[in-house]
Structure formats: structure tokens, C-alpha cells
Amino acid sequence: MKATFDIAASTYDVTFTNTVIGKLQRSYVYGHLSNCLNNQSVRSVLEINCGTGEDAFWLAGQGYRVTATDISEKMIQVAQQKKQAENITFRQADINALPAVFPSSQFDCIFSDFGGLNCLSPGELKNFFANAASLLPRNGSLFLVIMPKNTLWEQGYFLLKGQSGNVFRRKQEKVLANVDGEKIATYYYNPNDIKKLSEEHFTITTVKPVGLFVPPSYLETFISGKPKTTALLNYLENKAKNLSFTARYADHYFIALQKR
């Protein structure tokens, strides 16, 4: 997995971060995240799967002390080259070994954006929740952005392409997703799946759709250079942003969990 994301590091900002879809979807995440953080006493944030650091810099700009981690050394290098901030520490770390990486640390909350946790199998994800609980105080929070199983945009896309075998691919136990020409095992989880895997340690407090009307990033050409289409989809997205029951049909969803 590390090698795969090392390959993607040099192009990630071009293929997602700086695209129209990437910027829109990230703005929805920040809206949901801000609503949660504003209601809590949070000073320190552990970010996992930080990629090229876009979210870490945003969090630091809001005044939080951020420890941003990623399994990919190349991703960390790209993030460090962007700019410096006194309240950010970047560190290469395996999501499956967080207690060993931070044996005596505790954070007010943990954040993972845009499907980083979809690289974990159900067993690994259950173990992640146990590890996360050990790094949080009582009532500490997890803020996660996850890819669900029932994304309507993707189902429609494959139907129109005549690829009926891929329409419901996210419902498979495991999908080999293409990341810059490399295949990586990807697992999709609806909110109820997260509830079952995390309930020993956490309670779900918030679920919101991200990318219900704004499509997945591989459909960038569908809206790029079409301001009226983009404006309409953004308008509809904002109208539906608090409809929790739609989360399983979006490209991603934002979910907040509180430690028991």
C-alpha cells in the first residue's frame, strides 16, 4: 500500500485536491467538521491518511495543533514542501500501528478525510477503532469521511457505460480500485457498518452526505468548464447536506463518533 500511494503523491493535488470536484467536496467536509469542532473543546488533532497536507494546513489555520500522518513517505514529503506552520507536525505512520507510534500521546480528536479508512478490511477497521479509543480522552471524537456502498452517481455512470457488472461493485466484500495504475484493495462501508464495527468504543453522533449531487472526482470532465451545471449541483448539494438518510447514496459521507 505504501508504494502505491508513493506513486500517487506527485499527481494527487492535480487529479483531486485542485479540481472543481475536489474543492467542492472538501468545502462540504469543512462545513460539517466546523459545526462539530465549534461545539467542542478541541486543541489537538491527530490526522491520519493526511495525503499532501491540504486538511492539515486548513486545521492549523483554524488554530488547532495538528499532528498529520500518512503511510506514504512521498505524501509527507509533498506536504512538507508546501509551506511551514508552527502548529503542524508531519509524520510517516502506519494507520494499523498508531499506539506504537504514539505510545504516550493523547489527542482531543482524530480526523481522516476522503476514504483513507476504506483501505482497511473490516477486521482492520474494528482494530482501528480500538486503537483510536486508546489515543482519545473520554468523550473524545473521531471525524471520518468514508465511501459508502450505494453511491448513485457511480451506479448511473456504469449503467450508461454499459458496464452492468460494475453497477453494484461497492457492495462486494473487496474491490481492487485503480490508484495511478496500481490496484489497491478497497472496502466500502455504510453508516450502519461503521456502527457495528465501532460500537464497543464509540457512539455515532452525526452522519452527513458529501457528494450526493456533486459527482465523484473521476467525473471532473462532466462539470469542468460548465459553471451553470456546477452552480446547480452545488445548490442542490447544500440543500441536501443535512439529510442524514442520504449518506449511503453519496460519493462519501462525513461521520462523527464520540468515545464512550
CATH architecture of 2-147+189-259: 3-Layer(aba) Sandwich (3.40)
Predicted confidence band at 1 (pLDDT cuts at 50, 70, 90)?
low
Q: Which of 6-10, 82-86, 99-103, 216-220 has the lowest mean pLDDT?
A: 6-10
Radius of gyration, alpha carbons of the chain? 17
Read off the pLDDT of residues 211-239 as tens digits, 9 standing for 90 and up.
999 999 999 999 999 999 999 999 999 99
Which grid coordinates are listed for 199? 460500537
- CA distances to 14, 78, 113, 119, 131 from 96, in Å: 28, 22, 16, 11, 8
- The per-residue pLDDT for 83 is 77
Q: Strands, DSSP E only, in the chain?
A: 44-48, 65-70, 88-92, 109-112, 141-146, 175-179, 182-186, 202-210, 252-259
Q: What percent of the chain has pLDDT over 90?
A: 86
Predicted confidence band at 134 (pLDDT cuts at 50, 70, 90)?
very high
Instruction: Enumerate the domain spans of the chain.
Output: 2-147+189-259
- CA distances to 63, 125, 153 from 92, in Å: 23, 19, 34
Q: Round to whole Å and give the CA distance between 65 and 60.
A: 6
